[in-house]
Amino acid sequence: MNAKPEPAVLPLDVERIRADFPLLSRTVHGKPLIYFDSANTSQKPLSVIEAVDRHYRQHNANVARAVHTLGEEATASYEGARDAIARFINASSRDEVILTSGTTQAINLVAYSYALPRLKPGDAILTTVMEHHANIVPWQLVAERTGATVKAAPIDANGDLILERFFEMLTPEVKLACVGHVSNVLGTVNPIREIARECRKRGIPLLVDGSQAAPHRRIDVQALGCDFYAITGHKMLAPTGTGALWARREHLMAMPPFFGGGEMIREVRFEGTVFADPPHRFEAGTPNIAGFAGMAAAIGYIEDLGYDRLKAYEQDLLAYATSAVENLPGVRIFGRAKEKEPVISFLIEGAHANDMATLLDLQGVAVRSGHHCAHPLMHFFGVPATLRASLAFYNTKAEVDGFIEAIGKVRKLLL
Ligand SMILES: Cc1ncc(COP(=O)(O)O)c(C=O)c1O
């Protein structure tokens, strides 16, 4: 499928964009909201909210079951979302796109349908120290059941993956490699094409966790050369409970279903059930139909904006915010990778991350504090938690200034 061409690179009109996001104009504790937690979940534009609303007002019915008009409309909308996602990530076929509740379900699907039946004692799964728990724990669970092990490739002090070590660790026992495209804590962008090339040379399939990549950069699964790619809708403007797994057709054809139930079968008999072909084989039960109407709208919003424009704006904002945070007294920034998406993790000497986040909230600033579902990464840096400011194209330099001012006030209270 051909990806939609990028519009010409025009400067992004952030005030016009902010008007599309109703939540951004609210106040919190009497202060204008500064939402710097988009890596956790993004805010939603009106077109997404309206798509969900429209579904329930006009088209609500179950999918692939009813022949009545509403059933057909709901099915067309749901299958239309699959088409939109296939185009968005440049899948060669819509049948390679499984609609899921998010990345967590997508990775667990690969763990239980692909890895579990194949792994045996002595095998290994290779991942990295910077992964989200969603790209660690499912592998540990299947490793435990099969006698396999999970190995993690190291990173350097800047938060870049040590590629030579990763490649050295791609030994014959490794049956699957699992890497995040972009780190949710450090913003590090991993060189997926290069990693995929090395995995392919050794015949090792590669799964990529694209949760933090899709909100910021164009994804082309064919050009990346991986085997599995997972995205989660709610971090890229879509409703919660939406996402997708892309997988090469040959893998999907060889995978048994993960969940059993309605809509994933061709014929059910007590002597034996024949499963549907992918993608429906992996979509048992009633899906998040309204959510996927919203996800299609989210993709439309991003495509209209264009990744080139979005990226130019976000990278400029990241540079501005990084230099502002760097100038804070007693600051330690985690993550100085060669290529980064707009995430800044940091600590202020003497101040606990959770205390800072709580007091920042009183100033109207939403940032995340804690381990960010990345315990091994926290252990690597020797800290229990960080503060994370994660930005999006709807944030502004004025908000960065407000954030820095709020930190100044919080510092006075804490230190
Ligand atoms: C890198 C990464 N992987 C996986 C996930 C899990 O995504 P979800 O909870 O939407 O399934 C997240 C969410 O924080 C993430 O940042």
Query: How far is residue 227's CA from residue 382's CA, in Å, rounded to a whole number?
Result: 33
Block residue for tokens 């996927």: 292
Q: What angle do CA 186, 350, 404 make, to 5 degrees?
A: 60
102 lines ligand 1 (CB under 6 A): yes
242 lines ligand 1 (CB under 6 A): no
CA atoms within 13 A on the CB side of 389: 27
Structural domains of the chain ordered from first start: 14-44+306-414 (3.90.1150.10), 49-303 (3.40.640.10)
Nearest CA to ligand 1 atom 9: 104
* Mutational test site, ligand 1, from 103, 179, 183, 295, max ligand atoms within 8 Å of CB: 103
212 lines ligand 1 (CB under 6 A): yes
- DSSP string spanning 304-348? HH-HHHHHHHHHHHHHHHHHHHHTSTTEEEE---SSB-SEEEEEE
pLDDT of 7 > 60? The answer is no
Q: What is the model's pLDDT at position 139?
A: 98
Ligand 1 centre to CA of 109 (Å) is 15
Average pLDDT, rounded, for the chain = 96
Rounded mean pLDDT of 56-69? 92
Comparing CA positions, the residue from 221, 155, 209 lying closest to residue 177 is 209
Contact partners, residue 342, CB within 8 Å, separation at least 6:
187, 216, 314, 315, 317, 318, 321, 390, 391, 392
Decide: 155 and 117 in contact? Cβ < 8 Å: no
Ligand 1 centre to CA of 235 (Å) is 8
Q: What is the model's pLDDT at position 265?
A: 85
pLDDT of 300 > 60? The answer is yes
Question: Residue 275: helix, strand or coil by DSSP?
Answer: strand
In this structure, of 7-11, 36-40, 47-51, 83-87, the range with the lowest mean pLDDT score is: 7-11
Question: Residue 62: helix, strand or coil by DSSP?
Answer: coil
Q: What is the model's pLDDT at position 65?
A: 79
Decide: 114 and 255 in contact? Cβ < 8 Å: yes
pLDDT of 3 > 70? The answer is no
pLDDT of 8 > 70? The answer is no
Q: What is the model's pLDDT at position 108?
A: 98
Comparing CA positions, the residue from 132, 31, 131 lying closest to residue 366 is 31
- What b/e sequence results for 110-139 when a residue is b if at least 16 CB atoms lie within 10 Å of its CB, and e otherwise? bbbbbbbebbeeebbbbbbbbbbebbbbbb
